[in-house]
Homo-oligomer: A and B are copies of this chain.
Amino acid sequence: MDSTTIAYIAGFLDGDGSIFFQIVPRKDYKQKFQIRSSIAFYQKSEFDNILEWLKSIFGVGYIRRRKTGMSDYTIVESKEVYKILTLLQPYVKLKKKQVELGLNILNKLENKKSDKDFLEICNLVDNFKELNYSKKRTITSEVVSKSLPL
């Protein structure tokens, strides 16, 4: 992929995109929770061929057309999120900290061995939310820690 294409996407992500992590309940998971990573790009549905273009570049993820007239293109698969963050890292400016911490979280997830490791990653997800100034009520590491036999 051409470096100016990657730089363009980094600028577009900084301008109107989002990187976020969520702790999601999963009854069938060993730690009862999953960490979900997401990269999302937004655009008014009437101009969302830019999202189709992005999807054709990355070859993964899905586009949703909301009833609000907005569309979003979201990639959630951890390995793909890791690849894309690595690609964009040299060019991203506003979201530099998010990319760095995001890669750190995904690396640790790949190598986690214990409940303790998992809880440490949940802590990093809490930190990530602070970077995004997220005020949504979501599952924090505290919730996870109460459900783990530590």
Question: Given the complex, which residues of B lie within 8 Å of A94, measured CB to CB?
Answer: 43, 47, 50
Out of B3, B6, B11, B16, which one reaches A10, CB within 8 Å?
B11
**Chain B nearest Cβ from A125, distance in angstroms:** 21
Complex CA–CA separation, A14 to B43 (angstroms): 10
**Chain A: interface secondary structure?**
helix
Is A29 in the interface zone, CB < 8 Å from B?
Answer: no
User: What residues of chain A have their CB less than 8 Å away from a CB belonging to chain B?
Assistant: 3-17, 43, 47, 50, 53, 91, 93-94
9 interchain residue pairs of minimum CB distance = A15-B15, A11-B11, A15-B16, A4-B7, A11-B12, A8-B11, A7-B7, A7-B8, A12-B15
